[in-house]
């Protein structure tokens, strides 16, 4: 299995609704980061949550981390059409040397106006 | 707000040619990275660089690849003798510190090997 697996793979919602994306990982981590990628573009950092944190907020974003279940969720509230993008979680594993990030497959979010 | 920049945005090359992808990390950052994303696949780590040397590399980063910080601002990825399967988006990233810190990514260079 891959470190950092997101589900669902694709999510389609209406503007104004909330979007929840989940990420699971296999090994112990130092932190988990969420990134956003518009089609064919670069990765935009959204939020970093450390292994000793359980929840973090940034604007309309809420991230939770459950290290006992090795999972994280990203909640986008009051979604907008401009939130349409792919969302990736990335882990910075304790069991790897250095600081490489291991990315998941991503969730493609479509917000319909 | 400071950002990582990359040039060129697109590069087309013939198989067997050498390419150099360039990156300017955020100025006060000390750790630099290259990742790649083959179309439709997930982002994969290639290499990390600190204090003028490679700190970690993945199994993808074989002898075909090399990195360099030729001056105080640029960070380059050289791919010698490109192969068709090297076609991908290549991302540079930088972070202020190493393990546990936010990595900020550039917009990427889309490399197409024909």
Confidence of residue A23 (pLDDT cuts 50, 70, 90): very high
Q: Region A11-21: what's the mean pLDDT?
A: 96
Q: Write out pLDDT tens, residues A38-82.
A: 887 889 999 999 999 999 999 999 999 999 999 999 999 999 999
For residue A48, which of A9, A78, A112, A91 has the smallest C-alpha distance? A91
Residues of A in contact with B56 (CB under 8 A): 96-100
Q: Write out pLDDT tens, residues B65-78.
A: 999 998 878 999 99
Contacts of B23 (CB under 8 A, 6+ apart): B4, B5, B6, B32, B34, B74, B75, B76, B77, B92, B106
Q: Which pLDDT value is given to residue A109?
A: 96
Q: What is the mean pLDDT of chain A?
A: 89
Q: How far apart are CA B50 and CA B98, in angstroms?
A: 9
The answer on pLDDT for A1 being more than 50 is: no
Q: Please check whether residue A40 touches B, CB under 8 A.
A: yes
The answer on pLDDT for A4 being more than 90 is: no
Among the partner-chain residues B35, B55, B91, the one whose CB lies closest to the CB of A98 is: B55
- pLDDT < 50 stretches in chain B: none
Helix (H, G, I), strand (E, B) or coil at A14: strand
What is the separation of C-alpha A112 from the centre of its chain, rounded to a whole number of angstroms?
20
**Distance (Å) from the C-alpha of residue B17 to the closest C-alpha of chain A?**
24
Q: What is the mean pLDDT of chain B?
A: 93
Q: Find, in chain B, the residue whose alpha carbon is nearest to that of A87.
A: B42
Contact between B105 and A45 using a beta-carbon 8 Å cutoff: yes
């Amino acid at each position: 299995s891959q470190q950092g697996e997101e589900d669902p793979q694709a999510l389609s919602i209406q503007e104004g609704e909330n979007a929840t994306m989940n990420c699971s990982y296999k090994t112990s981590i130092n932190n988990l980061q969420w990134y956003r990628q518009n089609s064919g573009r670069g990765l935009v950092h959204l939020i970093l949550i450390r292994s000793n944190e359980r929840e973090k907020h940034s604007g309309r974003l809420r991230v939770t981390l459950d290290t006992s279940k090795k999972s994280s969720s990203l909640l986008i509230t009051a979604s907008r059409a401009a939130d349409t993008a792919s969302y990736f979680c990335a882990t910075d594993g304790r069991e790897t040397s250095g600081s490489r990030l291991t990315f998941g497959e991503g969730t493609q979010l479509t917000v319909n106006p | 707000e400071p950002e990582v920049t990359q040039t060129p945005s697109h590069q087309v090359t013939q198989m067997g040619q050498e390419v150099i992808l360039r990156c300017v990390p955020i100025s006060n950052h000390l750790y630099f990275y290259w990742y790649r994303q083959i179309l439709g696949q997930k982002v994969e780590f290639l290499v990390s660089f600190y204090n003028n040397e490679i700190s970690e590399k993945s199994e993808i980063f074989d002898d075909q690849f090399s990195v360099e910080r030729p001056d105080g601002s640029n960070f380059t990825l050289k791919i010698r003798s490109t192969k068709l399967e090297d076609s991908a988006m290549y991302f540079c990233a930088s972070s202020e510190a190493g393990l546990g810190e936010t990595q900020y990514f550039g917009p990427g260079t889309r490399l197409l090997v024909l």
